[in-house]
Each structure stands twice: as structure tokens, then as C-alpha cells.
Homo-oligomer: A and B are copies of this chain.
Amino acid sequence: MSTDGPYLAEIAHLMGDPARANMLHALMDGRALTAKELAWLAGVAPQTASGHLAKLMDGGLLAVAVQGRHRYYRLAGPEVAQALEGLMVLAGAQTSRRRLPSRVGAELSQARTCYDHFAGRLGIGIHDALVAGGHLRVAEGGYGLTSSGEAVFMALGVDPVPTKSRRAALRPCLDWSERRPHLAGHLAAALACRCFEMAWVTRRKDSRAVTLTDAGRAALADALPGFRCDAEPAAEMPELRQAVFA
């Protein structure tokens, strides 16, 4: 209806405050954080953060799980992560257009989590290898697996059981650092989960960046011929912590 013009503004307004944007950005790895942690990450006092979190809840962007005296906030769903990614594509373009064209944080563009799946060159690598191998087909709500694709997932230890849900098991998600699609959807999430379980991929502290271990590289290359995940020269710039407040 165009009744959504104003609603659009409401949602964008929620994301448009620096403190709230920092919170949402911090939650994009799919984990749940406490109000205090989010306050610290956003660079505001807990009282202020509480107000922001209430607004985000009211707007349907966050979900909360209460455990004892802690309240764990997380993104309300994949659509929220996808909308944020869409904005980050623009924010990234903005960056490269008028700021430093320089490396976007070599670690993050190499490999990171995007809500519940992998992004960066790691995510692209998995996506491209599955495409090149003919393991994906176009399905109703996104991608599906061909029979060879099912074999790949089985070999990786992920059971590609079809779900009853209308939502597809796999779907493309535009990568804001590489500007090309990687894979999202619950099968991509299951694969990421498996990779963490097997220590094929490990998380880093205080960053959405992750590391592909040698074992992981071998396992992926083994089950998925053609898989590549190029590491860039990667000049270290360990100013991750402060950057959150910039």
C-alpha cells in the first residue's frame, strides 16, 4: 500500500541511530548478547542501552531470552540480518567511493559469520564451488540441492533433509564486502554449525571474523572439489576493538 512508506521510515529510523546500529551490527553474527554487553559495544550507559533495546524490541527487530537476571538479545530473524546486509552493501560502497578504497579489514573480508552462516571469501568460495560443481538447482523459494549436492553435504556430515517449510534450504545472500552472493538458509547455517563443531572454522574474540583451519581447508576441499578460499596478503590491523565506537 504505500502504507509502508511510513513504516519503512520507522524501521530505518530504528537502525539509523549510531548506538542502535552498533548493537545490531554486533548481533549480526547471530549470537545473543546481554544488555550490558550491548551497552558497552554501543558505547553508551546501560540505561540508555535499555531504552534502545526496548525500541528495537518494539520494532520487531530483536528477540530476547531471559535467563536468570540476564536478558539475552538477538536478532529477531534472518530477514533482519538480510536487511542489515542490504544496508551494509550501500555503506561499503559509500566507503569505497569517498573514503579509503583500502582493505575493509582483511580479516573480515576473508571470512566472517553473517547471522548464522559464512560470508566473506570463505562464504563465496563455498558458494562458487557448489555452483561450479553443478550441485545447486533453482528451487521454489531459493536454491535446492541436486543429488550430487546432497552427496557433498552428506560427506561433510550435514544431513540435507528436506524440510516442510516453505522457505528454501539455501538462498543467495549478497556479500557486502565482496559484492557477490554467498549462501544463506538453514542448510548453510547447519554447515556453519558443523564447521564449528569439527573445528574446521574457529571464531575470533571480539570480531565477527572467523578462521578457516588447515583441517577445515582439507575437509572442504575433500568433500567439495574445486573449493578455494584465497587468503589475501592480509596486512594485520588489529584496531578492531576501538573501531566499534568510531
A residues bordering B, Cβ < 8 Å? 1-18, 20-22, 24-26, 59-61, 79-80, 82-95, 97-98, 104-105, 107-109, 128, 131, 136-143, 166, 171-172, 174, 176, 180-181, 207, 240, 243-244, 246
Contacts and interface: CB of A to CB of B under 8 A. Distances in A.
Contact of A11 (B13, B94, B166): B94
A134 to B, nearest CB: 8
* Secondary structure call for the A interface: helix
22 contacts: A1-B107, A2-B243, A2-B244, A2-B246, A4-B91, A5-B26, A7-B92, A7-B95, A8-B84, A8-B87, A9-B22, A10-B16, A11-B94, A12-B15, A15-B16, A60-B90, A60-B98, A82-B89, A85-B86, A131-B138, A137-B137, A138-B138
Contacts of A108: 1-2
Contacts of A1: 104-105, 107-109, 240, 243
Contact of A5 (B8, B21, B138, B181): B21
**Most B CB atoms within 10 A — which of A12, A14, A171?**
A12
Contacts of A240: 1-2
B174 A181 contact: no
A2 B28 CA distance: 11
Contacts of A88: 4, 7-8
Contact of A25 (B5, B83, B207): B5
Contact of A171 (B10, B109, B176, B181): B181
Given A60-B94, A79-B93, A131-B140, A18 B4 contact: no
Contact of A12 (B87, B98, B128, B139): B87
A93 B21 contact: no
Given A5-B25, A83-B89, A12 B12 contact: yes
A172 to B, nearest CB: 6
A60 B97 contact: yes
Contacts of A139: 131
A21 B16 contact: no
B83 A87 contact: yes
A242 to B, nearest CB: 9
**Most B CB atoms within 10 A — which of A10, A86, A139, A180?**
A86
A139 B132 CA distance: 8
A21 B12 contact: yes
